[in-house]
């Protein structure tokens, strides 16, 4: 390459060191609605500015920027991690084995969106610079790993194409699975139900009837309809759920104010109110092709209200807005009966120690076979009518 083609890689200690236009030129394609709201500058910066991400939380920003001729051609959301919390691709057993053998697994490097098990690009490249941008980022990440002496590098919830490319350059690929609802061109929720077996269709209708009989109203809010009172209520729901699931909530209260200021068009908040009091809610993020379910909480328990707010209202909204799918987050086989089918997710890993890397590689090969088998079995147990099965009258 001549001097004009030289790529310079820098490490940023915060999103504030990178101009939003520069980052988003790599993270998106300039559309009005982002393909992936989680890799936008505004989302990642809100995590940092609110104190949800930083040294206190054990997610220390080490973002990569690759520039050619002074222009950013690729960026990567990258963090030094002092634990394995908030990742959803579990490596706790790796950490235990590594440390039992006398090594120090932490810190490690994590290319990810904190607290967000949603598939998206992790090698963010400006259009037209995909090949050199990806190569620069992986080289920069490995150089940083060597420089600071970490045990490993992990690229989680990357795209399948990124995983295949990463394996070609020597990274270890890993498969896992979660549940997604796919829009097959449905005109409305009833059209979706029409593709289910009679028993499953009737069960969902009964669930929705019971959920909607809680004695209040359900509203879906986005954009300028979102106000402080809604976030005050949702914060209480989120605190309760976070305390029970993780010990303490990942997000600070200020995150929701930051998001309201910069991301209100990227969010859908489904709330239930009874006797003038907000008492349950589900927070979703809106992408160009998908709705991403993220957080749920409540201060009153009502039968099936969780399913109504988190799953059925998300399907309703996706159909009404022409979205291709709903990603319902990590885990939860109960989603299967509600029309959410297993889908493969992907990650990439690099381990500094050659012997441990070989052992992890063998484990990942066996794990992938198990994941593929599980997806096959779960899909067979899905609620949809089998091919050729007649539509039964309810």
Query: What domains does the chain contain, in order, with CATH numbers?
Result: 3-177+343-379 (3.40.630.30), 180-342 (3.40.630.30)
Q: What is the mean pLDDT of the chain?
A: 94
99 pLDDT higher than 70: yes
Supply the pTM of this predicted model.
0.94
Percent of the chain with pLDDT strictly greater than 70:
95
Q: What number is the average pLDDT over the span 284-310? A: 95
Please give the residue that has the higher pLDDT: either 329 or 54.
54
pLDDT digit string (tens) for 45-70? 999 999 999 999 999 999 999 999 99
Contact (Cβ atoms closer than 8 angstroms) between residue 273 and residue 150: no
Strand partners, 74: 66, 125
Q: Measured between alpha carbons, how far is 5 from 289 in angstroms, rounded to an integer?
A: 35
Which sign does the torsion angle of CA 392, 333, 266, 295 carry?
A: positive
Burial readout 134-154 (b: 16 or more C-beta within 10 A, e: otherwise):
bbbbbebbbebbeeeebbbbb
């Amino acid at each position: 390459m001549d001097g004009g083609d030289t790529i310079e890689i820098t490490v940023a200690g915060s999103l504030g060191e990178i101009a939003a236009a520069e980052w988003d030129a790599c993270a998106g394609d300039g559309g009005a609605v982002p393909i992936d709201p989680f890799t936008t500058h505004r989302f990642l910066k809100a995590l940092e500015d609110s104190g949800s991400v930083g040294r206190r939380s054990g997610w220390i920003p080490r973002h990569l920027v690759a520039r050619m001729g002074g222009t950013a051609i690729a960026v990567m959301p990258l963090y030094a991690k002092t634990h394995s919390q908030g990742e959803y691709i579990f490596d706790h057993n790796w950490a235990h084995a590594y440390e039992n053998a006398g090594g120090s697994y932490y810190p490690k490097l994590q290319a990810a969106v904190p607290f967000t098990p949603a598939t998206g690009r992790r090698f963010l490249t400006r259009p037209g610079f995909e090949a050199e941008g990806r190569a620069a980022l992986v080289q920069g990440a490995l150089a940083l790993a060597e420089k600071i002496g970490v045990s490993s590098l992990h690229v989680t919830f990357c795209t399948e194409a990124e995983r295949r490319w990463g394996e070609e350059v020597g990274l270890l690929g890993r498969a896992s699975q979660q549940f997604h609802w796919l829009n097959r061109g449905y005109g409305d929720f009833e059209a979706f139900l029409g593709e289910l077996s009679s028993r499953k269709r009737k069960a969902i209708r009964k669930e929705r009837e019971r959920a909607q009989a809680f004695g209040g109203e359900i509203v879906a809010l986005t954009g300028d309809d979102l106000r402080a009172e809604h976030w005050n209520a949702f914060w209480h729901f989120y605190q309760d759920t976070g305390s029970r699931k993780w010990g303490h909530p990942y997000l600070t209260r200020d995150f929701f104010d930051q998001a309201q200021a910069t991301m209100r068009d990227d969010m859908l908040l489904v709330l239930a109110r009874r006797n003038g009091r907000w008492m349950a809610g589900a927070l979703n993020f809106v992408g160009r092709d998908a709705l991403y379910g993220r957080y749920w909480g409540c201060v009153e328990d009502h039968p099936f209200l969780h399913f109504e707010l988190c799953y059925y209202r998300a399907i309703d909204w996706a159909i009404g807005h022409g979205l291709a799918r709903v990603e319902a987050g990590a885990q939860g086989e109960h989603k299967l009966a509600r029309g959410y089918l297993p889908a493969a997710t992907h990650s990439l890993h690099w381990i500094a120690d050659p012997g441990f890397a070989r052992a992890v590689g063998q484990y990942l090969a066996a794990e992938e076979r198990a994941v593929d088998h599980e997806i096959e079995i779960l899909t067979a147990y899905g609620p949809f009518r089998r091919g050729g099965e007649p539509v039964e009258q309810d």
